[in-house]
């Protein structure tokens, strides 16, 4: 299964998935593959745009007898997101062609985000589920002269102990994002007094 994930990262994402060792399976409570020190890179020699101490990839049991490799949830421990390397990878993606449809839940604990060789957010915890295709949204953002939506198609929360962007320093940041359908629902009626 590890070889399948490495191959799918290359063929569907145009990225290199590197691991410090082969993954190991877990079966309780769900089928999952635990990956030690995974990293995603544009090329084997480039800087990783995403790395982590470990990743737990949760899949439906049906993946054992299916020709599809669906992922339900990815849990990352101490991930590091390099925005410069991410932008380089996005710029390397073909301008046309079908992007893979990427939808799953993502949890990360104690993440670090870097840009320009500096840490811009640390001690980041997030718990998101995608309601639409993430890679499609990223591709549209890159190709569009004006972003149609600021936020990706995710619902969930992200918390950061600190965020530094330019001359701005924020502490104790919490952001909650909800799907559009949830925002469009009418407010509940007031209870009688």
| Residues of the chain predicted below pLDDT 50 | 181-193
Distance CA 184, CA 136 (A): 23
Residue 67 has a pLDDT of 72
Per-residue pLDDT of 97-110, as tens digits, reads 555 566 678 899 99
3-state SS class at 57: strand
Per-residue pLDDT of 50-88, as tens digits, reads 999 999 988 888 777 777 667 888 999 999 999 999 888
Q: What's the pLDDT at 39?
A: 95
Angle 83-92/134-143 helices, nearest 10 degrees? 80
Burial class of residue 48 in the structure, from the number of CB atoms within 10 Å of its CB (0-12 exposed, 13-18 middle, 19+ buried): buried
**Helix, strand or coil for residue 139?**
helix
């Amino acid at each position: 299964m590890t070889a399948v994930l490495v191959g799918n990262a290359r063929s569907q994402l145009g990225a290199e998935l590197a691991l410090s060792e082969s993954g190991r399976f877990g079966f309780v409570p769900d089928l999952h593959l635990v990956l030690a020190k995974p990293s995603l890179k544009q090329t084997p020699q480039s800087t990783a745009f995403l790395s982590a101490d470990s990743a737990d990839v949760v899949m439906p049991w049906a993946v054992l007898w299916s020709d599809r490799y669906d992922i339900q949830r990815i849990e990352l421990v101490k991930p590091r997101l390099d925005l410069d390397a991410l932008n380089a990878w996005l710029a390397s993606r073909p301008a046309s062609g079908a992007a893979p449809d990427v939808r799953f839940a993502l949890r990360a604990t104690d993440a670090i985000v870097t840009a320009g060789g500096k840490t811009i957010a640390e001690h980041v915890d997030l718990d998101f589920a995608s309601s639409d295709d993430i890679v499609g949204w990223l591709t549209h953002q890159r190709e569009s002269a004006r972003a149609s939506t600021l936020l990706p198609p995710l619902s969930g929360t992200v918390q950061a102990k600190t965020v530094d962007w330019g001359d701005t320093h924020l502490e104790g940041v919490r952001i909650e994002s909800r799907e559009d359908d949830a925002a469009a629902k009418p407010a509940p009626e007031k209870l009688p007094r």
